Structure 1
Amino acid sequence: MKSEHMLSRRGFCLCCIGAAGFAATGGWLSPREAYAEARGLVSLIKDSAAKSVITTHKLRDGIIILEGSGGNVAVLGGKDGLVMVDAGISVSRKQMAKALAEISPDPVTHLVNTHWHFDHADGNAWIGSGGAKIIAHENTRKYLSQVQRVEDWDYNFLPLEPRAVPKHVFSKEHSLKLNGESVTLKYYGPAHTDGDISVMFGEADVLHVGDTYWNGIYPFIDHSTGGSIDGMIAASEANLSASTDKTIIIPGHGNPVSNRTELQNFRDMLVAIREIVAALKRAGRSRDEAVAAKPTAAFDAKWGNFVIDPGFFTRLVYEGV
């Protein structure tokens, strides 16, 4: 049961590994074959989420994390109804609805998407069908409104139905007052994608940073929609500036309850590996030669054990330097 749960909460990353493994072979698929291959990987994630147990983590001031349906979801209850940060994957609706009902019988009135990826926004449809106001960065709405390809997954995502697409978008910053919390949404600029935002619950001092931070694991960087290693580093520095030693930090993936020290370690790892890979690239090493040089070796024991493998992470970094 434990291994099944671990797969479900990190299945998104297994998709990346599978796609990267194929890409590393230099193989070529026809469009039909590529679609079938990617569909199998995405289906694996969804099948896992459909069976996942939702784990509840209670923070402070009524903020709760729901872990087990794609990315880590934050929920705040109160007189204004349930406020959610990210929606998970729709196939786990039954488990998610049960977890939400245990928090409060009130409906979800506000949903914030930290970015467009399906493990964070696929649940928009069923949450939106209940009348929730869906809020996101303007680039997130763009990607959810059109066919969007992710090269590293060999997959074309179809547009979401209208009720699932964020109708309330912003470009730089947006503020809300909900359930006694001052909720501040801030755009990073290009980072994991080019639509990532942070969500700060001011009074509680809880910061949800989406997929700009993967706690204890190498992150995926989506070059197809504007992500880069430099953007991830810049976002990490913005998150450090926005937090203190007392701030609870919620990452998009990995252990869902984190802090500034762990985030600093993540940032330092990104910087160190970026510099090593950049030096290899400046020296004329090809991507495959850079991978063979094992530039992440000093970090693999801590960061490379489960999700994005060292070779795939090296390729992602190489592309962005």
Structure 2
Amino acid sequence: MGSPKLHPMSRRGFCLCCISSAAVAATGGWLSPRQAYAEARGLVSLIKDSAATSPIKTYKLRNNISVLEGSGGNVAVLTGSDGKLLVDAGIGVSQPQLSKALTELGNEPIAQLINTHWHFDHADGNEWLQKAGAKIIAHENTRKHLSVVQRVEDWDYNFLALPANAVPAEVFSGDHHLKVNGASITLKYYGPAHTDGDISVMFTEANVLHAGDTYWNDIYPFIDYSTGGSINGMIAASDANLAMANNDTIIIPGHGKPVSNKAELQDFRDMLVAVRDNVGNLKKQGKTREETLAAKPTAAFDARWGQFLVDPGYFTRLVYEGV
């Protein structure tokens, strides 16, 4: 097989956690993440190249909460007299664009940063944001992964530990509560889901929920088994997110269209359950991974969910690994 061409994509949607399947979509055949890595000239370099020039788009929500799209995962921002609070940090090379977008939201200093989990496209900006004044908060497992060399097998890549100042200074093991800029904020820990350190961030009075990478809007999600991810955990996290939401809740996904709602989240949860059950039934019948892939267990959902970087074949493999 010749070297694959990367799948065309929106620069704002370019993200570390799903690029390894791009070559599969481009070639129309089965290519393992390890092969994709070997043939794609270094994924992290490609990601940084894209993030360095990607524009940032700002969506103003309510109660001084906005979401910024364009640097890895979707970044939420709460402004007010206590200073800016960010949910997720994006990719470090996006600093010029993110700084400009943050300044346009107001002249308050950057004060706090919450990491929803450890992945590069959500925490790589920790270093510059900490230097800008942010106190970094995360689940204890997120700090653990950011503090050491962390390997992700599906990307065939070893991530170096972040500098000490970029590692979360405040951690928690269960749910955690904050009061910032007059807003009551609940950080909910899920247990193993996308990783083993995923949290959501609920702005109670505004009724705005940042679900991190436990929710991918209209995109098949990546599940990081290397650091404790689980298909069943993703479903459990979706159930927990749904329980916190009502029909008026604005839901911010980790990836995909950055402004969502409970109905779309319900569709995501139902898709996860259906694909898990389809793949699980085939595996119970003794089907190999390749035979399961050939049976197209995601076919009913591909038109909506399979048109981005985590393509149907790669998502099937991820689910197969976990059932």
> What displacement does 1:50 show?
0.5
1:215 equivalenced with 2:217 (yes/no)? yes
Unaligned runs of 5+ in 1: none
1:164 equivalenced with 2:171 (yes/no)? no
Q: What's the counterpart of residue 3 of structure 2?
A: none
Q: Secondary structure at the match of 1:252?
A: strand
Q: In 1, Cα distance between the equivalents of 2:280 and 2:308?
A: 25
Of 303, 312, 315, the match for 1:313: 315
- Asked if the contact 2:22/2:309 (under 8 Å) is kept, the reply is no
Q: Secondary structure at the match of 1:57?
A: strand
**Which aligned pairs between 1:1-321 and structure 2 lie closer than 5 A?**
6-12=10-16, 14-18=18-22, 24-25=30-31, 40-321=42-323
Aligned CA RMSD, in angstroms, stands at 2.2
Superposition TM-score, scaled by structure 2 size? 0.93
- Higher mean C-alpha deviation, range 300-309 or range 18-27: 18-27
Q: What percentage of residue pairs aligned between the two structures are identical?
A: 66
Runs of 4+ in 1 over 2 A off after TM superposition: 7-14, 18-29, 36-39
Superposition TM-score, scaled by structure 1 size? 0.93
- Asked if the contact 1:38/1:155 (under 8 Å) is kept, the reply is no
Unaligned runs of 5+ in 2: 1-6
CA displacement 1:273-304 (0-9 Å, x = unmatched): 10000000000001111111100001101110
Q: In 2, Cα distance between the equivalents of 1:214 and 1:105?
A: 31
- Asked if the contact 2:12/2:69 (under 8 Å) is kept, the reply is no
Q: In 1, Cα distance between the equivalents of 2:207 and 2:277?
A: 33
Q: Secondary structure at the match of 2:52?
A: helix
Q: In 1, Cα distance between the equivalents of 2:8 and 2:108?
A: 31
- Asked if the contact 2:33/2:154 (under 8 Å) is kept, the reply is no
Q: In 2, Cα distance between the equivalents of 1:41 and 1:314?
A: 22
Q: One-letter code of the match for 2:136?
A: I
Q: One-letter code of the match for 1:85?
A: V
> What displacement does 1:141 show?
0.1
> What displacement does 1:305 show?
1.0
Q: In 2, Cα distance between the equivalents of 1:181 and 1:19?
A: 43
CA distance 1:13–1:116, shift in 2 (3 Å): closer
* Number of residue-to-residue matches in the alignment: 315
CA distance 1:99–1:114, shift in 2 (3 Å): same
CA displacement 1:239-290 (0-9 Å, x = unmatched): 0001111110000000000000000000000000100000000000011111
Q: In 2, Cα distance between the equivalents of 1:219 and 1:259?
A: 17
CA distance 1:119–1:285, shift in 2 (3 Å): same
